[in-house]
Structure 1
Amino acid sequence: MTQSSSQPNRALLQRLPQVQRERLSHIDFKLFFLGELKRADVADRFGTGPAAATRDIAQYKELAPGNLALDNTDKIYRPTENFLPLFDHAPQRVLTALSRGFGEGIGDELKPMVRCEFPLALSVPKMSVLAPITRAIHRGKAIRMGYTSVESGHNEREIVPTALVNNGMRWHVRAYDRRRKGFRDFVFTRMEDPVLLEGSAIADAEKVDQDAQWNRIIELELVPHPAHPRPEVVMMDYDMPDGVLRVKVRAANAGYMLRRSTIDCSPDHSLSGPEYALWLRDPLALYGANNAQLAPGYKDPNAGPETRPIKAW
């Protein structure tokens, strides 16, 4: 079977010099994950002139003729509906680049390419699912997709993605859910065939600045668990010479963080076991956080006496 003229020519790509492949990979990355490419993106990233950037884009178009089209309204290249990545982008490198801005600055100047939280552990969503979501975040667009939730099973959703989040076990996207008319967390592995909705206008209520849980910052005071046999070791482990570890976290992510770190959030530090090195000194700090119930031992102060604390699994 012969290769279609619109398919990427990866055989020719492998014969190019490494430095040129790096520039072409950057073009491929911008199109695939951010949904746009400007000539200055190549020139600024690699310190080349505009003419050299133009040649790189032309070569990319020769290798993958069906991948990009010039939007004459703003002189920006965008991926076509038939876009096929020219490179096999390693998932962890992609996630690192999107969340840490790898190669987009020096030292403290590094900034994420899209709004993103970056805990230490990484999960690996499918790139074919991740790419439309990150394009939507970058460009301020809505997404239509199939989604399967524990609560309601499989159905079609329209969402407005605003940020990537890693809760330590998996990546998900923070988004406005047009069905429920509020901001929710959507797990990548439960998404099917996300499609970017070019013509769907974003209402003010759907923008990230209206997400109260995302924008509310909670300060948590963590101390060595009163039942820990060696509190001085805990203080060393968490670099807390004064005995208190103060952590600022978004309300939207507080429950995830406390669960991942196995922190006792019961009001009377009643959870036992070697995994509980820290105790949340004031559980009322979580009041109003929608996912507070994920925190080990947390008890809603408004709940009745029959309510049992929820432990993390």
Structure 2
Amino acid sequence: MPPIPRAQLERLSYIDFRLYFLGQLRRSDLVARFGTGPAGATRDIAQYREAAPGNLEFDGTRKLYLPSASFKPLFEHAPQRVLSALSQGFGQGAAEDLSPLLRCEIPSALSVPRMSVLAPVTRAIHCGKALRLVYHSLSGEPGERELVPFALVDSGVRWHVRAFDRKSAEFRDFVLTRIESPVVLEHGEVGRHETAEHDVQWSRIVELELVPHPSHPRPDVIRLDYDMPDGVLRIKVRAANAGYMLRRWNVDCSPGLRLRGPEYALGLADPLVLYGAANALLAPGYRPPVAAASADKLQGSRQRDDTPESSR
């Protein structure tokens, strides 16, 4: 496809999306989505037909376009964006009247950050500024802190902000719902040591190999669930987030994959790859190598003590 303006590229992608995932397209769909008017919608459809001549057919009876039998998507559609659009609608503006494109059911979010907290945090991240706030920690009374935030993190259960904490002089995760009264320090300076490039846990990438859990009765189905034709799902994750991801998906990270239960469909092939990851203890069954070795030694000692004298 020759270079075209981004706005028109978005309209062509929308045409491709509706044909591919909804199976039909009307000019009114483009008018409603982009406000272009019937003539503009006709031109966009004509350009799409020129770029992908075998992709759509016109149904004169119903006055709509259908994907052809030989349809091949013109664009690469990211799965998460597709599912988001289908379940929540298109658009970014607050004035958008968004509605799902299909009937969808999404689990309720039990922990949602307040917009009055989220907005200062995201402004500080975007502008490279520090924040002054009150934080409610589980380990003590609420206290004032200064943070230098640089990323939002979705653990799958709640949202965190990754930041340099000037109180402890460490990089840590802070739960957004535990933040109160955040104020962006517009005129303060941020030191180089407070930036993401100096966060070792954030910069370190851990390569994980996940396999069907050996106790699962249908490993063939698990391979389908997680698209692992060779029996291994290989993913890369930041060391700072590894524990969140493994806990979210109930990946057994115990030595020898010893956990049992229907919730454990996956196992971590080599738990040693988590060594040094700060939040690895959140991963189901994970124990640092020294602790795991001590536990195995203790278990072996108990087994010897329980062995009948005649069989020793």
Counterpart position of 1:147: 135
Q: Determine whether 1:301 maps to 2:289.
A: yes
Query: What SS does structure 2 have at the residue aligned with 1:128?
Result: helix
For 2:171 and 2:108, locate their aligned partners in 1 and report how far apart those are by CA, in whole Å. 24
Q: CA deviation at 1:103?
A: 6.0
- Indicate how the Cα distance of structure 1 residues 121 and 305 shifts in structure 2: closer, same or farther if over 3 A, else same: farther
Counterpart position of 1:131: 119
- Indicate how the Cα distance of structure 1 residues 207 and 307 shifts in structure 2: closer, same or farther if over 3 A, else same: farther
Which of 192, 197, 209 is equivalent to 1:209?
A: 197
For 2:148 and 2:244, locate their aligned partners in 1 and report how far apart those are by CA, in whole Å. 22
For 1:307 and 1:177, locate their aligned partners in 2 and report how far apart those are by CA, in whole Å. 35
Q: Check conservation: 1:299, 1:307, Cα contact below 8 A.
A: no
For 1:264, give the aligned amino acid.
Answer: D
1:144-183 equivalences in 2 (<5 Å): 144-183=132-171
For 1:268 and 1:155, locate their aligned partners in 2 and report how far apart those are by CA, in whole Å. 42
- Indicate how the Cα distance of structure 1 residues 303 and 290 shifts in structure 2: closer, same or farther if over 3 A, else same: same
- Indicate how the Cα distance of structure 1 residues 239 and 216 shifts in structure 2: closer, same or farther if over 3 A, else same: same
Counterpart position of 1:55: none
For 1:124 and 1:306, locate their aligned partners in 2 and report how far apart those are by CA, in whole Å. 41
Counterpart position of 2:50: none
For 1:134 and 1:157, locate their aligned partners in 2 and report how far apart those are by CA, in whole Å. 17
C-alpha distance after superposition, 1:55-112 (max 9, x if no partner): xxxxxxxxxxxxxxxxxxxxxxxxxxxxxxxxxxxxxxxxx9xxxxx769xxxxxxxx
For 2:277, give the aligned amino acid.
Answer: A
Larger C-alpha radius of gyration, 1 or 2? 2
Q: Check conservation: 1:283, 1:298, Cα contact below 8 A.
A: yes
Root-mean-square deviation (CA, aligned residues, Å) is 2.6
For 2:259 and 2:241, locate their aligned partners in 1 and report how far apart those are by CA, in whole Å. 22
- Indicate how the Cα distance of structure 1 residues 266 and 207 shifts in structure 2: closer, same or farther if over 3 A, else same: same
For 2:243, give the aligned amino acid.
Answer: G
- Indicate how the Cα distance of structure 1 residues 222 and 180 shifts in structure 2: closer, same or farther if over 3 A, else same: same
Q: CA deviation at 1:152?
A: 2.7
Q: Check conservation: 1:121, 1:168, Cα contact below 8 A.
A: no
- Indicate how the Cα distance of structure 1 residues 103 and 193 shifts in structure 2: closer, same or farther if over 3 A, else same: closer
Q: CA deviation at 1:292?
A: 0.3
State the TM-score, normalized to the length of structure 2. 0.59
Moved over 2 A (4+): 120-124, 302-308
For 1:258 and 1:183, locate their aligned partners in 2 and report how far apart those are by CA, in whole Å. 21
Q: CA deviation at 1:132?
A: 0.3
C-alpha distance after superposition, 1:235-274 (max 9, x if no partner): 0110100000001111000000000100000111100001
For 1:209 and 1:300, locate their aligned partners in 2 and report how far apart those are by CA, in whole Å. 26
Counterpart position of 2:255: 267
Q: Check conservation: 2:247, 2:283, Cα contact below 8 A.
A: yes
Query: What SS does structure 2 have at the residue aligned with 1:259?
Result: helix
Q: CA deviation at 1:306?
A: 5.7
- Indicate how the Cα distance of structure 1 residues 246 and 170 shifts in structure 2: closer, same or farther if over 3 A, else same: same
Q: CA deviation at 1:121?
A: 9.1
* Percentage of identical aligned residues: 62
Q: Determine whether 1:239 maps to 2:216.
A: no
Query: What SS does structure 2 have at the residue aligned with 1:269?
Result: coil
Which of 285, 299, 302 is equivalent to 2:273?
A: 285
For 2:169 and 2:129, locate their aligned partners in 1 and report how far apart those are by CA, in whole Å. 16
User: Which runs of no fewer than 5 residues in structure 2 stay unpaired?
Assistant: 1-33, 35-83, 85-90, 94-106, 297-312
C-alpha distance after superposition, 1:147-168 (max 9, x if no partner): 0111233110000001001100
Q: CA deviation at 1:198?
A: 1.1
For 2:239 and 2:178, locate their aligned partners in 1 and report how far apart those are by CA, in whole Å. 23
User: Which runs of no fewer than 5 residues in structure 1 stay unpaired?
Assistant: 1-45, 47-95, 97-101, 105-119, 309-313
State the TM-score, normalized to the length of structure 1. 0.59
How many pairs were matched up? 198
Q: Determine whether 1:219 maps to 2:222.
A: no
Which of 255, 258, 267 is equivalent to 2:243?
A: 255
Q: Check conservation: 1:171, 1:187, Cα contact below 8 A.
A: yes
Q: CA deviation at 1:307?
A: 5.8
